Amino acid sequence: MHRRRGRQSTPQGAHRPVMLDEVLAALAPQEGEIAVDCTLGYAGHSAELLRRVGPLGRLFAFDLDEGNLAPARELLAAISPSFTLTHGNYAGFPAIIAAEGMEGCDCLLADLGMSSMQVDDGERGFSFMRDGPLDMRMDRSRGRTAAELLRTMTAEDLASAFRELGDEPDAERIAEAIVQRRETQSLERTRELMELILKEAPVKVNPNPRPGEPTVRQQEIRPTARVFQALRILVNRELANLQELLRLLPWCLKPGGRVAIISFHSGEDRLVKAAFRDGVRTGVYESASEEPVRPDYSEKMDNPRSRSAKLRCAVRSKDQADSL
């Protein structure tokens, strides 16, 4: 859909955002435009969007994790004062833009992955590589933790979540083991859950992987990664939030506005693909990605967390009155 440009330099002091060049090529932000970053994180994407819309434009960015706002604000303020940061779900961005007297945005990004800050902080409970409490809430001011869900959900519901949100083939076995375990002791720590999964879902590994293939350790922990992913999506209601975003998009993009969504899970990608396809069919979007764009080899090597990323893009119909 768009040609890729040469690799852009990473903003100083920030971790490189996933598929930065591909996102900028798809969104093509121009000076004076209104940009929305639904998932602020380290503000790597936001910083580049703000640079391109310039002081005559405006950036609106959202994050469920309040801890991300202060460092992002410092980074963005060094570029331009033309931005607004909001702690909360991106589903609220139509009201915020309307309150500013704006009819919509010219370009919008949603990077559905976790930020490195969340993964690297063991106390957040997102990573099984660091022992910590089974929390997993992106917004720690509300909602049930992963530990609470594991204490209360039935084996059937847990298995369904692990299978549908994590693509885990041994979902039933792991779910039954969790229910049996909690009869005597609840799971409260990431290390405890990881040990249970490794015991219940051992995998047959290739002891001699070729370059670029998963290492032995990566093969061994795949069931753990899938279960942790499923729990995180469940705790944060990520699919429901994405569905709401996709529903709101046609009313929030200006005619000719561009949207780019990076997903990391097959369920997310299916929702985006279906929404864009239906939008093209009904005239809401004038064009959309036929196939997702994936990170190139060098990015996958530099940032293993980008390996499952898929980028889909769409362009809002210029005749908004007829297509809504």
Average pLDDT rounded to a whole number, residues 151-162: 97
Render pLDDT for 83-105 as a digit per residue (tens, 0 to 9).
Answer: 999 998 877 778 887 788 888 99
What is the C-alpha end-to-end distance of the chain, expressed in Å?
Answer: 24
pLDDT category of residue 212 using cuts at 50, 70 and 90? low
Token code pair at residue 241: 């939030």
Could you report the per-residue pLDDT of 6-29, keeping only the tens digit for each? 344 343 334 678 999 999 999 999
Listed range (51-55, 132-136, 209-213, 311-315) with the worst mean pLDDT: 209-213
CA distances from 138 to 80, 119, 123, 181 (A): 27, 11, 12, 26
pLDDT for the residue numbered 276 = 98
Starting at the edge strand found earlier in the chain, the sheet holding 105-111 runs: 83-87, 58-63, 34-37, 105-111, 253-263, 310-316, 285-288
Q: What is the residue-wise DSSP string for 90-143? A: GGGHHHHHHHTT---EEEEEEE-SPPHHHHH-GGG---TTS--BS---SSTTSS
Domains, the chain = 20-116+239-323 (3.40.50.150), 140-235 (1.10.150)
Position 89, amino acid: N
Residue 269 pLDDT exceeds 70: yes
Residue 169, helix vs strand vs coil: coil
- pTM equals 0.86
* Bridge partners (DSSP) listed for residue 110: 261
Give the pLDDT band (50/70/90) at residue 3.
very low
Strand, helix or coil for residue 32? coil
Residue 242: CA count within 13 A, CB half-sphere = 26
- Specify whether the CB–CB gap between 34 and 94 falls below 8 A: no
Q: HSE of 9 in the Cβ direction (CA atoms, 13 Å)?
A: 4
- Whole-angstrom distance, CA of residue 82 vs CA of residue 51: 10
CA 41 to CA 69: how far, in whole Å? 8
